[in-house]
Amino acid sequence: MKGYRLRDQMNSIAEPPIKTWFWELEAAVIEADRCVQCGVCVAVCPSNSIGVQALTNVPELVKMCTGCSLCWDFCPRAGLRYEATWHDDDDTWHGNERDLGDPAAQEEDWMITGDDGDVGLGQVIETYAVRASKTVDGAQDGGAVSAILAGLLSAGAIDGALVSKPSEDPEEPWKGVATIARTPREVYAASGSFYNQTMALAALDLSRYALPSRPRIAVVGTPCEVQGLRAMQLRPWSTGAHRVDAVVLTIALLCTKSFDYEALILRELQRTRGVDLDRVKKIDVVRGRLIVEYTDGAIAVDESIRDFHGAALKGCDECADFLGRAADLSVGSVGSIDGWTSVVVRTERGRAALDKARPVLDLREIDDVSALIRLDELNKKVADNALQRPFDPDASMFIDFSEHVQSYSGTDRQPVSLRR
Ligand SMILES: Cc1cc2nc3c(=O)[nH]c(=O)nc-3n(C[C@H](O)[C@H](O)[C@H](O)COP(=O)(O)OP(=O)(O)OC[C@H]3O[C@@H](n4cnc5c(N)ncnc54)[C@H](O)[C@@H]3O)c2cc1C
Ligand code: SF4
Ligand code: SF4
């Protein structure tokens, strides 16, 4: 292991007490196949010692580890007690002071004890079903996320958004890669869901992008990415190249599971099921099934998600944050009819973002908010099971959520107006 070799080369220099080194994270999380490829350890490292392995998309040491312990402390599969980042009504800690230009959002606080943050939906101000007023090509559900980001960019409320765009490598069809979109056009080009983790927070090294010196960035990520980000903002330190301080808005994608790119897309879909990836219009995990649709409308795959268990990231079994409770906005398909996105507004900052993007959004009441809570409870049971047993890939659950999620078939409702 690279880390141990480096340590051996240190000529027995005495270590300060209570140091945790990268290779301890490497052994306990990465080599144990528990890494969920969030990129938190890369972003938190003050000496920029952690990079991303090109082939496997997991962290690796690229220069000397100083034993600062931060990668361990902030990793959601290691030292991070991520419930501590969940909001509470009795918020007391002042976090990121940057805002979206709305005075109400400047009083944004978060709780650092996580008291009742796991009850129901967690902290909620409002819930909506949202869609883009103008159809977004390639959007996963209502195109709400893309429209919100584009609206914020157009309004001058943010300078960029961390999103996932399709890989430009022809050998990597349907692989999402993290990028900073700086224009509405770039945001729309990155719409839709990629069922692979992108080491997103590693992309917060903004030096590659032309941005103002104090950029304001919105982050779209899976809940584990938002947990790590929030934790980093809650405990400011002298950062390396990654601009955690620049993040003014977090949007969490509801998430029960993500996948290894090679295993899901290339092995299970392309090689095992003969899917022609060049013809694919959309890949969706919905109502307990994985559905692959071609551009001509033909359905290439419609199969229980259980059949793809072997391609999922094993570390996801331990995750109990389906609802992205640490985010400003949590978004997903569950709870709204097809063509709409469920949006949980958790903070004043989230509400300010929705207000600023309001001209490009249709909003109405969410269809079935209890569907989100039911799925969250099931997700927590999976995590409980995973944490209480020695890991057994065959026994680890892939719940068939279809029984628990209402099937919506064209029961549209009349739009209702937002608060004003
Ligand atoms: C791995 C994964 C699992 C999900 N699981 C569920 C679920 O179980 N239940 C549920 O209701 N919803 C789930 N979602 C969310 C859902 O698929 C949609 O992303 C959400 O409803 C928003 O739809 P939209 O049309 O508003 O977004 P769009 O306008 O299509 O925008 C989606 C945004 O997400 C970004 N993005 C895409 N893939 C990733 C990624 N892998 N990591 C970070 N950012 C990304 C895109 O770049 C884009 O900015 C999941 C999404 C992902 C990526
Ligand atoms: S889970 Fe995230 S923080 Fe932990 S090792 Fe993997 S990429 Fe790093
Ligand atoms: S299930 Fe949890 S750990 Fe896995 S990608 Fe989703 S949020 Fe991250």
Tell the residue nearest (CA) to atom 24 of ligand 1: 143
- DSSP code of 14? P
| Structural domain for 341, as ranges | 83-258+312-404
What separation in angstroms does the CA of 373 have from each of 315, 370, 379, 397?
22, 5, 10, 19
Whether the Cβ atoms of residue 147 and residue 132 lie closer than 8 Å to each other:
yes
Are residues 376 and 342 part of one domain? yes
E-strand ranges in 208-357 read: 217-221, 247-253, 280-286, 289-294, 299-304, 329-332, 341-345
pLDDT at residue 100 in the model: 59
Are residues 240 and 353 part of one domain? yes
Are residues 195 and 70 part of one domain? no
In the listed set 53, 74, 95, which residue is the last one of a domain according to the structure?
74
Are residues 118 and 70 part of one domain? no
Distance separating alpha carbons of residues 416 and 216, to the nearest angstrom: 31
Among 343, 353, 347, 419, CA closest to 130: 343
Distance separating alpha carbons of residues 82 and 359, to the nearest angstrom: 35
Distance separating alpha carbons of residues 340 and 207, to the nearest angstrom: 35
Are residues 18 and 126 part of one domain? no
Whether the Cβ atoms of residue 91 and residue 230 lie closer than 8 Å to each other:
no
- The CATH number covering residue 69 comes to 3.30.70.20
Among all chains, which residue has been given the structure tokens 């709305």?
A: 102
Any idea which ligand is nearest the CA of 251? 1
In a domain, 266, yes or no: no
41 lines ligand 2 (CB under 6 A): yes
Are residues 16 and 130 part of one domain? no
In a domain, 100, yes or no: yes
In the listed set 15, 39, 74, which residue is the last one of a domain according to the structure?
74
Strands 126-132 and 176-181: unpaired
Tell the residue nearest (CA) to atom 4 of ligand 1: 255
In a domain, 300, yes or no: no
Distance separating alpha carbons of residues 152 and 146, to the nearest angstrom: 10
268 lines ligand 1 (CB under 6 A): no
pLDDT in tens, the chain (420 residues): 455 565 566 666 666 667 899 999 999 999 999 999 999 999 999 999 999 999 899 999 999 999 999 999 999 999 998 887 776 554 443 344 455 555 444 444 444 344 456 678 988 999 999 999 999 999 999 999 999 999 999 999 999 999 999 999 999 999 999 999 999 999 999 999 999 999 999 999 999 999 999 999 999 999 999 999 999 998 877 778 999 999 999 999 999 999 999 999 999 999 999 999 999 999 999 888 999 999 999 999 999 999 999 999 999 999 999 999 999 999 999 999 999 999 999 999 999 999 999 999 999 999 999 999 999 999 888 887 777 655 444 433 333 333 333 332 233 333 333 332
In a domain, 268, yes or no: no
Whether the Cβ atoms of residue 139 and residue 150 lie closer than 8 Å to each other:
no
CA 84 to chain centroid, in Å, comes to: 17
* Nearest ligand 3 atom to alpha carbon 223: 7
Whether the Cβ atoms of residue 375 and residue 404 lie closer than 8 Å to each other:
yes
pLDDT at residue 1 in the model: 46
* Nearest ligand 3 atom to alpha carbon 318: 3
* Nearest ligand 1 atom to alpha carbon 342: 21
Among 259, 270, 272, 255, CA closest to 375: 255
Are residues 50 and 180 part of one domain? no
Tokens of 164: 């996932």
222 lines ligand 3 (CB under 6 A): yes
pLDDT at residue 267 in the model: 98
pLDDT at residue 238 in the model: 75
319 lines ligand 3 (CB under 6 A): yes
Q: Element (H or E) spanning 355, and its range?
A: helix 348-356
E-strand ranges in 12-78 read: 50-52, 59-61
Are residues 131 and 38 part of one domain? no
In a domain, 409, yes or no: no
CA 311 – ligand 2 centroid, Å: 18
Are residues 133 and 95 part of one domain? yes
In a domain, 317, yes or no: yes
In a domain, 208, yes or no: yes
User: Would you call 74 helix, strand, or coil by DSSP?
Assistant: helix
pLDDT at residue 19 in the model: 86
pLDDT at residue 10 in the model: 61
CA 53 – ligand 1 centroid, Å: 24
231 lines ligand 1 (CB under 6 A): no
User: Would you call 131 helix, strand, or coil by DSSP?
Assistant: strand
255 lines ligand 3 (CB under 6 A): yes
In this structure, how many other beta carbons lie within 10 angstroms of the beta carbon of residue 233? 19
Distance separating alpha carbons of residues 301 and 308, to the nearest angstrom: 12
Are residues 100 and 63 part of one domain? no
Max alpha carbon distance in the chain (Å)?
Answer: 72
- Our count of domains for the chain comes to 2
Are residues 181 and 229 part of one domain? yes
In the listed set 46, 74, 102, which residue is the last one of a domain according to the structure?
74
Are residues 136 and 29 part of one domain? no
336 lines ligand 1 (CB under 6 A): no
User: Would you call 225 helix, strand, or coil by DSSP?
Assistant: helix
